[in-house]
Amino acid sequence: MDKINLKNDYNAVGHPLILKALEAELDHKFVGYGTDEICARAKDLLLSKIDKPQAAVHFLVGGTPVNLISLSAFLRPHEAIIAPDNGHINVHETGSIEATGHKIVTVPGEDGKISAASVQALCDLHSDEHMVKPKLVFISQATEIGTIYSLKELKALREVCDKNQLLLYLDGARLPSALTASDNDASLKDIAALTDAFYLGGTKNGLLFGEALVIVNPALQSEFRYLMKQRGGMLAKGFLLGIQFLRYLQDDLFMEIAQAANKQADRLREGLKVVGVEMVTTTSTNQIFPIFEDKIVERLKEVALFELWGKVSDHETAIRFVTSWLTTDQEIERLLMAIMKAYDKK
Amino acid sequence: MDKINLKNDYNAVGHPLILKALEAELDHKFVGYGTDEICARAKDLLLSKIDKPQAAVHFLVGGTPVNLISLSAFLRPHEAIIAPDNGHINVHETGSIEATGHKIVTVPGEDGKISAASVQALCDLHSDEHMVKPKLVFISQATEIGTIYSLKELKALREVCDKNQLLLYLDGARLPSALTASDNDASLKDIAALTDAFYLGGTKNGLLFGEALVIVNPALQSEFRYLMKQRGGMLAKGFLLGIQFLRYLQDDLFMEIAQAANKQADRLREGLKVVGVEMVTTTSTNQIFPIFEDKIVERLKEVALFELWGKVSDHETAIRFVTSWLTTDQEIERLLMAIMKAYDKK
Amino acid sequence: MDKINLKNDYNAVGHPLILKALEAELDHKFVGYGTDEICARAKDLLLSKIDKPQAAVHFLVGGTPVNLISLSAFLRPHEAIIAPDNGHINVHETGSIEATGHKIVTVPGEDGKISAASVQALCDLHSDEHMVKPKLVFISQATEIGTIYSLKELKALREVCDKNQLLLYLDGARLPSALTASDNDASLKDIAALTDAFYLGGTKNGLLFGEALVIVNPALQSEFRYLMKQRGGMLAKGFLLGIQFLRYLQDDLFMEIAQAANKQADRLREGLKVVGVEMVTTTSTNQIFPIFEDKIVERLKEVALFELWGKVSDHETAIRFVTSWLTTDQEIERLLMAIMKAYDKK
Amino acid sequence: MDKINLKNDYNAVGHPLILKALEAELDHKFVGYGTDEICARAKDLLLSKIDKPQAAVHFLVGGTPVNLISLSAFLRPHEAIIAPDNGHINVHETGSIEATGHKIVTVPGEDGKISAASVQALCDLHSDEHMVKPKLVFISQATEIGTIYSLKELKALREVCDKNQLLLYLDGARLPSALTASDNDASLKDIAALTDAFYLGGTKNGLLFGEALVIVNPALQSEFRYLMKQRGGMLAKGFLLGIQFLRYLQDDLFMEIAQAANKQADRLREGLKVVGVEMVTTTSTNQIFPIFEDKIVERLKEVALFELWGKVSDHETAIRFVTSWLTTDQEIERLLMAIMKAYDKK
């Protein structure tokens, strides 16, 4: 039997309905670089969902490019990005932001999130031209460890940004998973209302590839396509993104796909709770971080694929389970059974 | 009736066999970032075709990223790129190379190509540390205006590079079209033997997206994946590139697709010759640059889509026709008929 | 006897009055980074001379840093600089501008200058986001080959800049020499009125080091000191620049020093004319570019130090003579005698 | 009476003997860009002091440029710098390193220093191409808070660098102060033997300006002058650096100047000890960081100029005193008197 693959949510070609949409256009010829009709329709559909008719939408391939192109487009050379110290953009992007010339200044990540208070404290420290000027707060929804910001937390961040003339940018690689989490209270419209720019991820939620960057703040919209082109982010066959996003947004397919992933995560969480497994943190999205004794981890490797997240004590390790729309009821059951069995043997 | 679309060779989703290959993997789960089995197989297949078992292959999305990531990986900050003054990389990439910190120094483009003599002359001019240090010769095969380097010309460039300790880099966005051109005498093996690095393009020859960078020179291979990641060029679903390239290379499908495009270009060239249409330059690949009187251009716009290439005189304009594997016999016939009719009316 | 040194105008420690001003402050203690009282007084004095009380002045060390810091501060990443193809910034700065990420697009240099018409033509060519966006016209007064823009030419450039929303930047490494040239009709006030930013050079006119950047356009002034610091251009002992510039500007010493250099250049020009020596171009500043037969050049090397400018024919070479405030009447006479003697021998 | 200026060690024009050396060359004419005879002599003299005849020496203006030019010359784009989290280069250079594209990864500063163990731990964490590659350890001698590395600590760092293929770079802005500290056991030769590159600072020890970069590792020496020029660090009047450094090195004037500063710091330290003042850390160089109650700080402001270093508790503040060769016995006595008086009043 195949191992249960919970390594990540970008391990498959894509959702069948997305591939079908591409197939349907096999005989069609498009104009290039995302200036086609279908991209326009996909953008309009997205705008209609966020109540921001003046926002600018750009489709790009991958979170790293979206982030590095956006941030370097929005900032002057001496302006810096505020991010959580353990955040992906600070640790796991091979210095992609610094390679565009900008420093990331960090605040402590609390459950993967940053607080308005820590942003204010950091701004207070940066007083003159011998230090970079913090200018943009970078958050992820859901965060890298699967937690989500509440509407209240987001509003507090908006407030501290306004007070310090900072931009608020939201990395939405897993935004659909956050939007469909059981305890989420921040809607897509809220996100659009509270941020200067954000992106709605597709790659980790059923698209072959693609993220939709939404630049809400008009002051940041100017000549953005120049920057996309310059940094290598303008796809010649831009219509491939338009085709996928149009289908993704139609009938809120993106919500449906995320719900499927979250549902399996919920079931897994429930099961782990019953078994009494400890967690690194409480999540409600498609990522779960249980802590197991090392010997249990070894046994689980025989039935499932997952990431090791880090040693918790000398004999315990945190691991990461990620569900996707492809995860099945059977797989979760098999996994829970294996866990219970491993515990029994202990 | 639809207009005949000869605007470019990246105007369609992709070749049906490529999409079929993706579809065949819908239920499969892969490891991320191009470290999967199918990428490995595609790389091996490519290496087997070029007799360079020690070369490194990396799959990337789009020519702009391939070029900017490679060149900035290969060069120190003060080292410059030698390119034709009218070349794409100098004019139509929104300064993507300069954005990584490197200057492009230009030599006159002769039929889109650069000569060994002009490279030597430019090296002679750059004598000390008050000027950049030319370090890499950038050529395209086929060139932006559809011409190709002969094997003899490529050997002369290799020689001048060796003499001046320069690297030779070949942009192969349309390499398949060059390889299958009727008058081509430089094989894929020749390209691999003569360059330090080159890429085999897919986007303009039937893939949804994808280019295969081949780093032949071992001194340039080290830690290249760091640079890919840093510049946003490492696709999370790297296996999408592996799936496509494996099929593209199997049974030399990439040659077959290019042949189909070239065949239609040959037919069109033949017809234009019969009508007596002048050309900007003689090509043997899938791009053709006829010169028409402006009023004829206007009439052709009613039947076909194409790029305006530039005014040639006050009443004449050069245009660009690009064929692809989707171009049909009927389309070429319809176009030639339209041209003849337009001439008659004159 | 020592050879007559006409190699350049930065070959000596500095004008005695400048060194004396430094000496006078040996016991004084200053606050750092150019925030001292004496810098403030020097800035005020400069502002009073240009009728632009709202302009921002920054003192920096060297033309390369002034240019690279200013231009990268003023431009967004996709914006490009328009410069003459043979200009210093394009050829002799080792890609310092490109190293900050910006492309230089060139127009033909006509006598070292660029015309409004060529700027317009270049703007017309740059039409969309696949090309960089020309945003700043870079000129030098005097130019690298000693010529100067007339007031009329400067006004025409201002006009074409306004029409195309371009910034006008003037490199004034040798601005004092231009201001004191016999045929100059563009005053310091004119320069300040017509440009968005310019600098008044000191290094080539008697200072130990130092250039005064004047940012006239308020939109470009914001947070400039951050950029100075970031690019390594903020001198810890900024007061050294203040001390020098205060003295340099008092009693218009900068004009006096330049006049002394120009006077000797005028005498040399006059003498060359009498002898019938051809010139590369007609200049009125402290640089002269005579053309000699190669054998005459060889003989002149025995009496003087100068730069070879380039071969003009197979037996003729253009050379460069640069005078400074240290050049004496006797030196010019000796040189002219040597030239006449060399001609006689011919 | 003037306030006692202990704000920093770059608050005066320069040591009289240095200015005298400049004056002595007023009538001399030099070749440009540091290629003159006097620079060559100064370099030779420095090399003779470090037993590294093959090392390369370059004179530059200011620590920020030396650091940013060196590090960006030595590293490939994905390679990162290891520095103490509270170090100058990470906090107080306005992101000058990141502006060249490189990330700084930090380890905890322990008394301003970093330990071999923390370097190893950081290397262990950076395992693959999704993270930057740590490549260079950046240390300062003396550190920003006046402490110094012992020879044993430097050897341990060299060892951990060798083990992990890291470069060791030493910022010597205050190296003379370290070399002359009472408890120092690492000689200039030791520094040269243990590092890949370091610089001997002049600006903070009596020069008008100037730092001497020594590139010991031959692999890092190639074409360095290109990088100097490109980043704006090549002074036209390079001989000004040569003149100063020749005098600075002759008769070990640089040691003498530093000794004078340290001597006054020692006296001040002694006095503070007697009074019973607490320190942030124990130093032996020309920087002292006493902690005072806020009301005492207020009283001291009436007699002296100094930097506030930071709040230590709600009613205590650490301040910084910096002595220089200009600090007099009388000034230290006056200051100690004032401190004692302030304590009495308490």
Q: What is the pLDDT of residues D177-229, one digit of tens each?
A: 999 999 999 999 999 999 999 999 999 999 999 999 999 999 999 999 999 99
ipTM field? 0.96
Look at C78 and A129 and tell me if their CB atoms are within 8 Å.
no
The predicted structure's pLDDT at residue C344: 82
Task: Give the type of residue at D61.
Answer: V
Query: Residue B344 has what pLDDT?
Result: 82
Asked if C101 is an interface residue toward chain B (Cβ–Cβ < 8 A), one would say yes
Across residues A288-306, what is the average pLDDT? 96
Residues D265 and D247 in one domain: no
Q: What is the CATH number of the domain that holds D44?
A: 3.40.640.10
**What are the pLDDT digits (tens) for A31-65?**
999 999 999 999 999 999 999 999 999 999 999 99
Give the residues across from A317 on adjacent strands. A292, A311
Question: DSSP secondary-structure letter at B12?
Answer: S
Task: Please check whether residues D200 and D309 belong to one and the same domain.
Answer: no
A29/B232 touch (CB, cutoff 8 Å), yes or no: no
Instruction: Determine the Cα–Cα distance for residues C179 and A26; give it in Å rounded to an integer.
Output: 67
What are the tens digits of pLDDT across the range A198-220? 999 999 999 999 999 999 999 99
Instruction: Write out pLDDT tens, residues C8-57.
Output: 999 999 999 999 999 999 999 999 999 999 999 999 999 999 999 999 99
Contacting residues of B for D129, CB less than 8 Å apart: 223, 225-226, 228-229, 234
Tell me whether residues B98 and C102 touch, CB distance under 8 A.
yes
- Between the alpha carbon of residue B119 and those of residues B82, B106, B123, B160, C161, the distances in Å are 7, 9, 6, 7, 35
All residues of chain A having their beta carbon less than 8 Å from the beta carbon of residue C230 are 77-78, 132
Residue type at C344? D
Crossing angle for the helix pair B253-275 and B239-249, nearest 10 degrees?
Answer: 60
Q: Which amino acid is at D145?
A: I
Cα angle D249, D250, D252 (rounded to 5 degrees) comes to 65
Q: Please tell me what DSSP assigns to residue B280.
A: S
Preferred mutation among A75, A79, A129, A225 to probe C, highest tally of C CBs within 10 A = A129
From the list B128, B122, B120, the residue with the least C-alpha distance to B85 is B122
For D205, residues 6+ apart whose C-beta sits below 8 A from its C-beta are: D9, D174, D176, D177, D254, D257, D258, D261, D325
* Per-state percent for chain A, helix, strand, coil, to nearest 5: 45, 20, 35
Cβ neighbour number for residue A205 with a 10 Å cutoff? 30
| Nearest Cα residue in chain A from B27 | A12
Average pLDDT along chain B: 97
Would you say residue C223 has pLDDT above 90? yes
Residues 6+ apart with CB under 8 A from A242: A34, A36, A38, A39, A40, A41, A42, A59
* Residues paired with A310 in a beta bridge: A318
The residue among A253, A287, A308 that closes a domain is: A253
pLDDT tens per residue across span C47-61:
999 999 999 999 999
D105 — contact with chain C (CB < 8 Å)? no
Question: Does D56 lie in the same domain as D77?
Answer: yes
Token pair 């006004």 in the structure block, residue: C155
Domain boundary pick from D207, D233, D253: D253
Residue ranges of alpha helices (H) inside C219-293 are 224-230, 239-249, 253-275
A29 at the C interface (CB within 8 A)?
A: no
Tokens 């230089």 -> residue: C104
The token pair at C256 is 């006096």
Question: Which of B212, B233, B253 marks a domain boundary?
Answer: B253
**Site of tokens 């720019």:** A197
Nearest CA in chain B to D69: B77
Going by C-beta distance under 8 Å and a sequence separation of 6 or more, which residues neighbour residue A20? Answer: A247
**Residue among A218, A279, A270, A248 at smallest CA distance from A55:** A218
How sure is the predictor about D240, in pLDDT bands with cuts at 50, 70 and 90? Answer: very high
Quote the pLDDT of residue B97: 98
Same domain, D172 and D249: yes
Are D274 and D222 found together in one domain? Answer: no
- Give the CATH number for residue C270: 3.90.1150.10
Exposure string for D179-213, b = 16+ CB within 10 A, e = fewer? bbbeebebebebbbbbbbbbbbbbbbbbbbbbbbb
A230 closest CB neighbour out of C72, C77, C223: C77
Q: Which two tokens stand for residue D312?
A: 């230590």
Measure the CA–CA gap between C97 and C102, rounded to whole angstroms. Answer: 6
At residue C1, does pLDDT exceed 80? Answer: no
pLDDT of residue C278: 96
Query: Cα dist. B180→B5, B190, C230, C309, D185 in Å?
Result: 22, 14, 52, 49, 71
Q: What is the mean pLDDT of residues A91-107?
A: 97
Helix (H, G, I), strand (E, B) or coil at A190: helix
Hey, which bits of B61-132 come out as E strands? 79-84, 104-107
Q: How many residues are recorded in chain C?
A: 346
The reported pLDDT for the residue numbered B346 is: 59
Number of DSSP helices (H) and strands (E) in chain D, helices first? 13, 14
- D26 CB neighbours in chain C (<8 A) are 12-14, 16, 19
Interacting residues of C222 by C-beta distance below 8 A, sequence separation 6+: none
Query: In whole angstroms, how far apart are CA D300 and each of B278, D275, D324, D341?
Result: 88, 15, 19, 10
Whether omega before D142 lies within 30 degrees of 0, making that bond cis, reads yes
DSSP D112-167: TB--HHHHHHHHHH--STTS-EEEEEEEESS-TTS----HHHHHHHHHHHHHTT-E
pLDDT level of residue A344 (50, 70, 90 thresholds): confident
What is d(CA C242, CA C230) in angstroms, rounded to the nearest whole number? 21
Measured in angstroms, the CA of D7 and the nearest CA of chain A are apart by 16
C71: nearest CA in chain A?
A77
Instruction: Find the mean pLDDT for residues C223-252.
Output: 98
A91 alpha-carbon distance from chain centroid? 15
Report the half-sphere exposure of D189 (CA within 13 A, side-chain side).
5
pLDDT for position D344: 82
Alpha-carbon span D169 to D102, nearest angstrom = 15
Q: Pairing mode, if any, of strands A167-171 and A197-201?
A: parallel
Q: Are A246 and A42 in contact (CB under 8 A)?
A: yes
* Whether B176 and B317 share a structural domain: no
- Same domain? For D203 and D268 the reply is no
Average pLDDT over residues A307-331: 96
Q: How many domains is chain A partitioned into structurally?
A: 2
- Report the residue of chain A nearest B305, measured CA to CA: A31
Which residue of D20, D61, D244, D324 to mutate against C (max C Cβ within 10 Å)? Answer: D61
Please state, in angstroms and rounded to a whole number, the distance separating the CA atoms of residues C269 and C327. Answer: 14
Cβ proximity of B74 and B227 under 8 Å:
no
- The reported pLDDT for the residue numbered A346 is 59
pLDDT in tens, B68-119: 999 999 999 999 999 999 999 999 999 999 999 999 999 999 999 999 999 9
What phi and psi, each to the nearest 5 degrees, are found at residue B193? Answer: -75, -25
Contact residues, chain A, for D132 at CB < 8 Å = 94-95, 98
pLDDT at A286 over 90: yes
- Domain limits at B222? 16-253
- Kindly state whether residues D118 and D217 are assigned to the same domain: yes
A209: closest CA among A184, A189, A238, A185? A238
Say whether both D46 and D190 belong to one domain. Answer: yes
Relative to beta strand A278-279, strand A290-293 is: antiparallel
Question: Does residue A181 share a domain with residue A125?
Answer: yes
Contact A131 D94 (CB under 8 A): yes
Sequence length of chain A is 346
- Give the minimum alpha-carbon distance from B144 to chain D in angstroms, rounded to a whole number: 30
Same-domain pairing of C189 and C235: yes
The residue of chain D nearest to residue C209, with distances taken between CA atoms, is: D237
Q: In whole angstroms, give the CA distance from residue D58 to residue D66.
A: 9
For residues D230 and D242, the answer to whether their CB atoms sit within 8 Å is no
Q: What is the average per-residue pLDDT within D246-273?
A: 98
If phi > 0 it is left, if psi is from -120 to 50 it is alpha, else beta; for residue D101 that is left
Pairing of the two strands D278-279 and D304-305: unpaired
Which of B102, B105, B103, B66 lies closest to B84, judged by CA? B105
CB atoms closer than 10 angstroms to residue D131: 20
C238 in D contact zone (CB under 8 Å):
no
Give the mean pLDDT of C208-235. Answer: 98
pLDDT tens digits along A224-248: 999 999 999 999 999 999 999 999 9
Calculate what percentage of chain B has a pLDDT beyond 90. Answer: 97
Q: What is the pLDDT of residue C346?
A: 59
Which sign, positive or negative, has the C-alpha torsion C80, C86, C88, C91?
Answer: positive
Task: Please state, in angstroms and rounded to a whole number, the distance separating the CA atoms of residues C45 and C165.
Answer: 31
Eight-state DSSP code of residue B100: G
Question: Which tokens is B200 given?
Answer: 């085999």
Burial class (CB in 10 A: 0-12, 13-18, 19+), B134: buried
| A88 and A190 belong to one structural domain | yes
The predicted structure's pLDDT at residue A199: 98
Quickly list H helices, chain A: 16-23, 37-50, 63-74, 88-91, 116-125, 151-163, 175-179, 188-194, 224-230, 239-249, 253-275, 294-301, 329-345
**Which residues share a beta bridge with D57?**
D214
| Distance (Å, whole) CA C304 – CA C338 | 9
Which chain A residues touch B208 with a CB distance below 8 Å?
22, 208, 237, 240
